[in-house]
């Protein structure tokens, strides 16, 4: 194992997970109106792993995702992304982390109006200082990989729902992203389109991207390497992760 | 398990903490695209900024071009001029000497001609139209310039006075001249003259020689007695005071617009909140998010500034010819004050960017999750703003009161206006809360409309402030106009000599301040009856005989006053003038006798007059003046005149000021002190409406037949008529603001409209909802604007409250009732469409 590279602005640990949540809790409000959204959640997501999070409404799935993506701070506990501890990071450092390592996919696409598909995909790169032409070229490449090359110049309101979500996925994985967080990515799509979107997420994971996908759809969750069940802010169950090559080696030769 | 953490590629390393120039370019590009897509939602701010810049452009052009340039009207293009009296015994030799010394030069000879039946005169002018320096003082309107001895070209006013046209023949003073053309002095359109060819003025009253010479050369030349060379004053460079004042007013206006813009940009930030949240989720820093809204502000400011400058310049170019008669000189359409316009444009952009700062800061600080959910922050309580607004209003009104007490100190007026406008803006949200509370028991559509206004206070409060300002401006103009009319009713003039509805018939052919000495009492009675009969044809509202004091020993001092026609005399004011030769005294106007009829005309009871007063006057500049028992039309008081060197002057504000009206009256005490007796001087006739040209012409004919002269208002029209258009513009601005605001609010509440429709509400309910939104905002704006306008004018003109006794009920009713009705009717007519079916749109 090589020595981890320190992420600017965050204290680097020797962890190997892309995402690591340690005893994370989140409380909204105070006193009588306080709502416990997460209660001591522990979660590790390895590179190339696709984790599906399932649970009823209000169980804390989206909160888990926003805390994992540095959009919110936990009330207690610790979050590490690519080995970088989020606690103590400035807003700017978190923003840098998001544009370099984390990609988001939302149920309602959240493409920026006024920017073409290629510009939407290139936006994280441009925000990170990549020149517009290079970023645009990378964006078009990412769209090509998802079969949207001919839509690169179109604006979001000229695309279908499935195309918009594919553009959102391209935006989430463009560059050198390592963590893809998707909140009901197929929620606004028909089942066939939804499945094609999940396939794309799965394909990204095959290339080394770690993904956390919140979904209500058990069929789509079946694409995941691991499914985490969450209820009332606690992880109540999860399927076992598939055995890695190391574990197979550790078992030694079968008799 | 372990993993290999890859090095980030070199090109992905940030060029700065915020992604450097590429990131800034990306967010600015997005802001620009969003502006192109959503400029209609920012139309209110755009329109206000454009209106401010347009107003400044047109206003600065007006301020720069409207005032006449005495220098240009006198010097032409010459650097020096010398004026020689026509009475100079060596006139021709002196002219020749000056021309030899200061060649090239141009000679303009003038002779004063009387207009039969009028106190006014015209100039018979001999001038070469192609002269080297006076070319800019002449322009041909029709026909051609005179070339021969029996030819003349006249101004349109002279043509009208004498009934001339191109080709007709003018019989004047024994001369017969054919009219070859119509001319004007472009630098002074009130200059009434008849132009003849050079050398055709037989006995000039005055000769002007224009030339260019070095100061040392002029100083070393011995000009004839009484003639003095004058060098052209050096023009001031840069922005003139009046243009600067327009820029100050523009800044004030932009201050208010900035407040409206803050609300407008807050609305835009709210509309884009989810997109901004997404930008944050993608890794945009706070500075990047802030830059999106600041760039939007800059684009809005630039667009408004450009649109405003173009509109203002176009308006100026279109209106300049119509303004010329008011300005009294020809105005160049493209003579625009470019530095001032550029300044106004920069101010507009800065205002817009500054207005975008606060919403940008708030949006950047908002948690990304809150932004993604589209939840706006909690609104600030209106009570705090209302308290601040009330305090500002109080401060503003106090400043205006102090300004009035201290003679209108500009800084106090400025502070008062700024504070009043800001206060007006800040009370808006509280008034909207009151409206919502007042509508608790109203029908559902009205109740919902009022509650929506309260829910969307950020935009409705700003809109209310804007409507209040528009209505307030209109009300201010209406009240000020009414005040001016009230002052006119008190015979305060609107022009330099008389109000448009007044006419003075002077009993003496020598005009103001004199009496005809040879009239018997019977002749005076006959003349009085003739004038009264004529006045009867005008249906006068006032007919007041004017009397003056004259000396009993008339004739004994005539030799000392050789500049005045023999035997014309009356007491007059005298002032010391440095330009007069010793004894440095000059006639400064007549002093009419304070008769009971005249006093009653101005609402003065005899008991109000101090028994010690020699004079009563509305003028405050008489201190140090004297009163003399005779008159001279210029310098030349000498022996034989009695003076009261320190007359007791009682100031009475209700007397008119600075006109041919009786501004100063002599009391019987003053009469006794100077040994004067009373003689009729003329009659003041006032009509209900401004005198028509036909009535003025009839008066002149009557006067010519009776051997007297009349005086009417100067021919320059007043700007009062333009004010009505400004009032209309204020109302239209208010309606425009309402249309945009109501459209925004109703589009924000489209979901409620769908719910209403789903629960069975019909088109009339939807119409009532929109009509109530528009009408209530308009009513509140009209009431606030009018009340604040009245309070501000009362505070500023506290010392002249008598002019505000009459309320312009009709005009104010148009604002207070017409504006809300028009807004409600517009809302009713334009609403009623079925709401769109899709309940919620994603951010794209």
pLDDT at B563 over 50: no
Q: Which of B508, B628, B527, B524 is nearest to B576 (CA)?
A: B628
> Measured between beta carbons, which residues in chain A are less than 8 angstroms from residue B5?
2, 4-5, 82-83
Nearest to B279 among A5, A112, A134 (CB): A112
pLDDT at B486: 59
pLDDT at B171 over 70: yes
pLDDT: is B103 or B152 the higher one?
B152
Q: How many CA atoms lie within 13 A of B350 on its CB side?
A: 10
pLDDT at B7 over 50: no
Across the range B628-638, mean pLDDT stands at 56
pLDDT at B153: 94
Residue of A nearest to B23 (CA): A127
pLDDT at B213 over 80: yes
pLDDT at B842: 43
Residue of B nearest to A172 (CA): B282
Among A83, A127, A135, the strongest candidate for a mutation testing the B interface, having the largest count of B CBs within 10 A, is A127
Task: Please give the share of chain B, as a percent, with pLDDT higher than 90.
Answer: 8
pLDDT at B489 over 50: no
Nearest to A129 among B20, B37, B286 (CB): B20
pLDDT at B622: 66
Q: Is B212 on the interface with A (CB under 8 A)?
A: no
Across the range B581-608, mean pLDDT stands at 76
Report residue B642's pLDDT band, with 50, 70 and 90 as the boundaries.
Answer: low
CB B683 within 8 A of CB B531: yes
Weakest mean pLDDT among B17-31, B141-155, B641-655, B768-782: B641-655
Report residue B805's pLDDT band, with 50, 70 and 90 as the boundaries.
Answer: low
pLDDT at B746: 65
Kindly give, in sequence order, each residue whose CB lies less than 8 Å from that of residue B68, ignoring residues fewer than 6 positions away: B187, B188, B327, B328, B329
pLDDT at B126 over 80: yes
Q: What is the mean pLDDT of chain A?
A: 82
- Beta strands in A82-141, from DSSP E residues, in sequence order: 84-85, 102-105
Task: Please give the share of chain B, as a percent, with pLDDT higher than 70.
Answer: 74
pLDDT at B543 over 70: yes
| DSSP-derived secondary structure for A13-34 | -S---SEEEEEEEEEES-GGG-
CA distance A237 to chain B (A): 22
List Cα–Cα distances, B739 to A72, B200, B489, B664, B826, in angstroms. Answer: 41, 66, 40, 54, 8
Kindly give, in sequence order, each residue whose CB lies less than 8 Å from that of residue B689, ignoring residues fewer than 6 positions away: B501
Q: Is A44 on the interface with B (CB under 8 A)?
A: no
Nearest to B2 among A5, A16, A108 (CB): A16
* Pairwise CB contact (< 8 Å): B286 & A92: yes
pLDDT: is B408 or A65 the higher one?
A65
pLDDT: is B751 or B771 the higher one?
B771
**What is the tens place of the pLDDT at every residue in B421-448?**
888 878 888 888 888 888 888 887 788 8
Residues 368-387 in B contacting A (C-alpha not used; CB under 8 Å)? 368-369, 372
* Pairwise CB contact (< 8 Å): A129 & B843: no
Residue of A nearest to B841 (CA): A108
Q: Which of A180, A255, A188 is nearest to A224 (CA)?
A: A180
Residues 264-293 in B contacting A (C-alpha not used; CB under 8 Å)? 274-275, 278-288
pLDDT at A29: 84
Q: How far apart are CA B7 and CA A86, in angstroms?
A: 20
Q: What are phi and psi of B543, to 5 degrees?
A: -140, 105
Report residue B726's pLDDT band, with 50, 70 and 90 as the boundaries.
Answer: low
CA distance B266 to chain A (A): 19
CB B65 within 8 A of CB B331: yes
Report residue B152's pLDDT band, with 50, 70 and 90 as the boundaries.
Answer: very high
List Cα–Cα distances, B429 to B327, B352, B425, B685, in angstroms. Answer: 43, 22, 8, 54
- Beta strands in B197-307, from DSSP E residues, in sequence order: 206-211, 228-231
* Pairwise CB contact (< 8 Å): B37 & A114: yes
pLDDT: is B51 or B375 the higher one?
B51
Among A113, A121, A163, A166, the strongest candidate for a mutation testing the B interface, having the largest count of B CBs within 10 A, is A113
Residues 702-731 in B contacting A (C-alpha not used; CB under 8 Å)? none
Among A6, A10, A71, A207, the strongest candidate for a mutation testing the B interface, having the largest count of B CBs within 10 A, is A71
User: Of how many residues is chain A composed?
Assistant: 255
Residues 128-147 in A contacting B (C-alpha not used; CB under 8 Å)? 128-132, 134-135
Burial category of B143 from C-beta neighbours within 10 Å (exposed 0-12, middle 13-18, buried 19 and up): middle
Weakest mean pLDDT among A74-88, B314-328, B790-804: B790-804
Question: Where do the domains of chain A lie?
Answer: 19-241
Q: Is B91 on the interface with A (CB under 8 A)?
A: no
Residue of B nearest to A73 (CA): B367
Both structure tokens of B308:
């405003």
> Measured between beta carbons, which residues in chain B are less than 8 angstroms from residue A112?
30, 275, 278-279, 843-844
* Pairwise CB contact (< 8 Å): A99 & B13: no
CA distance A81 to chain B (A): 12
In 10 A of CB B323, how many CB atoms? Answer: 17
Nearest to A98 among B281, B843, B844 (CB): B281
Q: Is B442 on the interface with A (CB under 8 A)?
A: no
CATH class of A19-241: alpha beta
pLDDT at B310 over 80: yes
What does DSSP assign to residue B76?
Answer: T
pLDDT at A74 over 70: yes
pLDDT at B45: 83
Q: What is the mean pLDDT of chain B?
A: 77
CA distance B290 to chain A (A): 13
pLDDT at B634 over 60: no
CA distance A25 to chain B (A): 17
**What is the tens place of the pLDDT at every residue in A109-165?**
678 888 889 998 998 888 888 888 898 898 898 888 888 889 899 988 888 888 888
Nearest to B2 among A1, A82, A127 (CB): A1
> Measured between beta carbons, which residues in chain A are less than 8 angstroms from residue B13?
129
Weakest mean pLDDT among B31-35, B320-324, B353-357: B320-324
Q: Strand order in B572-576's β-sheet?
A: B585-590, B572-576, B626-628, B643-644
Report residue B490's pLDDT band, with 50, 70 and 90 as the boundaries.
Answer: very low
Among A20, A65, A95, the strongest candidate for a mutation testing the B interface, having the largest count of B CBs within 10 A, is A95
pLDDT: is B372 or B572 the higher one?
B372
pLDDT at B77: 83
């Amino acid at each position: 194992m090589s020595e981890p590279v320190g992420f600017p602005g965050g204290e680097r640990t020797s962890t190997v997970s892309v995402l690591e949540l340690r005893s994370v809790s989140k409380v909204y409000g105070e006193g009588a109106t306080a709502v416990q959204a997460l209660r001591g959640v522990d979660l590790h997501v390895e590179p190339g792993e696709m984790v599906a999070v399932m649970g009823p409404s209000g169980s804390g799935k989206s909160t888990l995702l926003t805390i994992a993506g540095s959009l919110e701070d936990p009330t207690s506990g610790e979050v590490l992304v690519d080995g970088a501890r989020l606690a103590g990071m400035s807003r700017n450092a978190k923003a840098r982390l998001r544009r370099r390592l984390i990609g988001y996919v939302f149920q309602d696409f959240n493409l920026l109006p006024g920017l073409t598909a290629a510009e939407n995909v290139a936006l994280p790169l441009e925000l990170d200082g990549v020149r517009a032409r290079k970023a645009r070229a990378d964006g078009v490449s990412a769209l090509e990989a998802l079969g949207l090359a001919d839509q690169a110049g179109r604006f979001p309101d000229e695309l279908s729902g499935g195309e918009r979500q594919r553009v959102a996925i391209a935006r989430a994985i463009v560059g050198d992203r390592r963590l893809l967080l998707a909140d009901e990515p197929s929620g606004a799509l028909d089942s066939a389109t939804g499945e094609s979107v999940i396939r794309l997420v799965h394909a990204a994971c095959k290339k080394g991207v770690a993904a956390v996908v919140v979904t209500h759809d058990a069929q789509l969750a079946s694409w995941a390497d691991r499914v985490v069940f969450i209820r009332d802010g606690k992880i109540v169950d999860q399927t076992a992760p598939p055995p890695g090559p190391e574990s197979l080696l550790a078992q030694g030769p079968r008799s | 398990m372990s993993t290999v953490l890859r090095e980030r590629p070199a090109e992905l390393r940030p060029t700065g903490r915020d992604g450097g120039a590429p990131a800034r370019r990306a967010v600015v590009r997005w802001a620009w695209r969003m502006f192109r897509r959503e400029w209609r939602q920012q139309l209110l701010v755009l329109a206000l900024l454009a209106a401010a810049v347009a107003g400044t452009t047109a206003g600065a052009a007006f301020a720069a071009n409207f005032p006449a340039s005495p220098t240009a009207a006198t010097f032409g293009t010459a650097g020096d001029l010398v004026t020689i009296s026509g009475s100079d015994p060596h006139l021709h030799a002196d002219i020749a000497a000056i021309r030899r010394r200061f060649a090239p030069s141009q000679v303009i000879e003038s002779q004063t001609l009387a207009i039969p039946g009028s106190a006014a005169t015209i100039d018979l002018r001999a001038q070469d139209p192609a002269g080297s320096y006076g070319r800019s003082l002449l322009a041909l309107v029709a026909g051609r310039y005179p070339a021969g001895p029996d030819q003349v070209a006249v101004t349109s006013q002279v043509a009208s006075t004498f009934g001339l046209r191109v080709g007709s023949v003018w019989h004047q003073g024994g001369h017969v001249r054919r009219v070859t053309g119509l001319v004007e002095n472009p630098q002074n359109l009130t200059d009434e003259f008849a132009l003849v060819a050079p050398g055709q003025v037989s006995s000039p009253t005055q000769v002007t020689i224009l030339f260019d010479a070095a100061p040392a050369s002029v100083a070393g030349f011995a000009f004839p007695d009484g003639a003095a060379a004058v060098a052209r004053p050096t023009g001031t460079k840069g922005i003139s005071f009046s243009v600067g004042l327009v820029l100050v007013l523009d800044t004030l206006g932009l201050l208010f617009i900035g407040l409206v813009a803050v609300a407008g940009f807050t609305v835009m930030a709210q509309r884009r909140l989810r997109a901004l949240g997404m930008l944050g989720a993608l890794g945009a820093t706070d500075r990047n998010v802030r830059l999106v809204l600041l760039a939007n502000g800059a684009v809005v400011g630039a667009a408004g500034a450009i649109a405003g400058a173009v509109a203002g310049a176009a308006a100026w170019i279109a209106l300049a010819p119509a303004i010329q008669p008011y300005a009294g000189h020809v105005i160049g359409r493209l003579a625009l004050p470019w530095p001032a316009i550029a300044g106004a444009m920069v101010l507009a952009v800065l205002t817009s960017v500054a207005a975008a700062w606060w919403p940008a800061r708030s949006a950047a600080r908002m948690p990304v999750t809150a932004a993604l959910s589209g939840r706006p922050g909690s609104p600030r309580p209106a009570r705090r703003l209302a308290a601040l607004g009330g305090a500002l209003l109080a401060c503003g009104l106090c400043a205006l009161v102090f300004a009035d007490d201290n003679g209108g100190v500009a800084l106090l007026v400025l502070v008062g206006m700024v504070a009043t406008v800001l206060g007006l803006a800040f009370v808006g949200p509280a008034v909207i809360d009151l409206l919502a509370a007042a509508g608790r028991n109203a029908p559902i559509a009205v109740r919902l409309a009022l509650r929506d206004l309260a829910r969307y206070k950020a935009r409705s409060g700003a809109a209310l402030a804007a409507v209040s300002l528009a209505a307030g401006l209109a009300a201010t103009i209406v009240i000020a106009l009414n005040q001016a009319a009230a002052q006119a009713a008190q015979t305060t003039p609107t022009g330099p000599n008389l109000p448009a509805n007044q006419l003075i018939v002077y009993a003496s052919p020598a005009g103001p301040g004199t009496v005809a000495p040879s009239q018997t009492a019977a002749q005076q009675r006959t003349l009085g009856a003739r004038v009264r009969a004529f006045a009867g044809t005008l249906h006068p509202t006032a007919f007041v005989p004017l009397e003056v004091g004259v000396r009993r020993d008339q004739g004994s001092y005539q030799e000392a006053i050789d500049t005045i026609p023999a035997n014309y005399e009356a007491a007059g004011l005298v002032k010391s003038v440095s330009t007069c030769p010793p004894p440095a005294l000059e006639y400064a106007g007549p002093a009419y006798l304070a008769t009971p009829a005249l006093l009653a005309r101005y609402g003065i009871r005899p008991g109000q007059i101090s028994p010690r007063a020699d004079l009563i006057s509305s003028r405050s500049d008489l201190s140090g003046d004297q009163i003399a028992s005779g008159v001279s039309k210029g310098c030349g008081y000498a022996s034989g005149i009695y003076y009261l060197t320190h007359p007791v002057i009682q100031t009475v504000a209700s007397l008119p000021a600075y006109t041919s009206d009786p501004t100063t009256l002599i009391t019987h005490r003053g009469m006794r002190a100077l040994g004067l007796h009373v003689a009729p001087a003329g009659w003041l006739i006032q009509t209900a409406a401004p005198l028509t040209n036909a009535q003025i012409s009839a008066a002149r004919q009557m006067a010519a037949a009776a051997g007297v002269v009349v005086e009417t208002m100067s021919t320059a029209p007043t700007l009062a008529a333009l004010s009505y258009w400004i009032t209309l513009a204020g109302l239209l601005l208010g309606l425009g603001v309402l249309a945009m605001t109501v459209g925004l609010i109703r589009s924000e509440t489209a979901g409620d409209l769908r719910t209403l429709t789903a629960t069975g509400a019909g088109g009339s309910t939807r119409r009532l909802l929109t009509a109530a939104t528009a009408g209530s905002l308009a009513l509140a704006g009209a009431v606030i604007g009018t009340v604040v306008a009245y309070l501000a004018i009362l505070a500023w003109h506290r010392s002249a409250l008598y002019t505000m006794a009459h309320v312009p009920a009709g005009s104010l009713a148009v604002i207070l009732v017409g504006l809300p009705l028009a807004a409600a009717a517009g809302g009713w007519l334009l609403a009623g469409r079925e709401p769109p079916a899709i309940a919620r749109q994603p951010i794209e």
